[in-house]
Amino acid sequence: MDQELINDIISTSFGGAAAGLALYGMQTLFGWIGVKRDACRVHRWMEAESKAGKETYRTTRAIASHNNLTEDRVRFVCSYDDRIHLSVGNEPDKWSLQGRGRTSGF
């Protein structure tokens, strides 16, 4: 093979790999930004609801309805955000800004 052809193949391979890594990085960044944006939106809404003197725990469906998100997205975002806590009582699928008090069983 010609040396120029080999150099072109190597150059193209490295260029393609760099472009692939750049696209992967952008996809990861935009995914992270989307989660943070939705988490902030849900958190702001839950703060406003709790200040209004309404229920402490809100259902996934209510959060989804008021924030124009799907229920699956709300579950993911609320699970991702450390400021939002899942109810562990008799009423499943409810979320609150108030923690459970104890963080350790020891």
Q: Which CATH fold topology does 9-96 show? A: Arc Repressor Mutant, subunit A (1.10.10)
Residue spans of the chain under pLDDT 50: none
What is the predicted pLDDT for the residue at 15? Answer: 94
Contact by Cβ (8 Å): 101, 95: no
What is the predicted pLDDT for the residue at 106? Answer: 52
Integer Cα distance of 54 and 80 in angstroms: 24
What is the predicted pLDDT for the residue at 39? Answer: 96
Give residue limits of the domains in the chain. Answer: 9-96
Contact by Cβ (8 Å): 95, 82: no
What is the predicted pLDDT for the residue at 53? Answer: 75
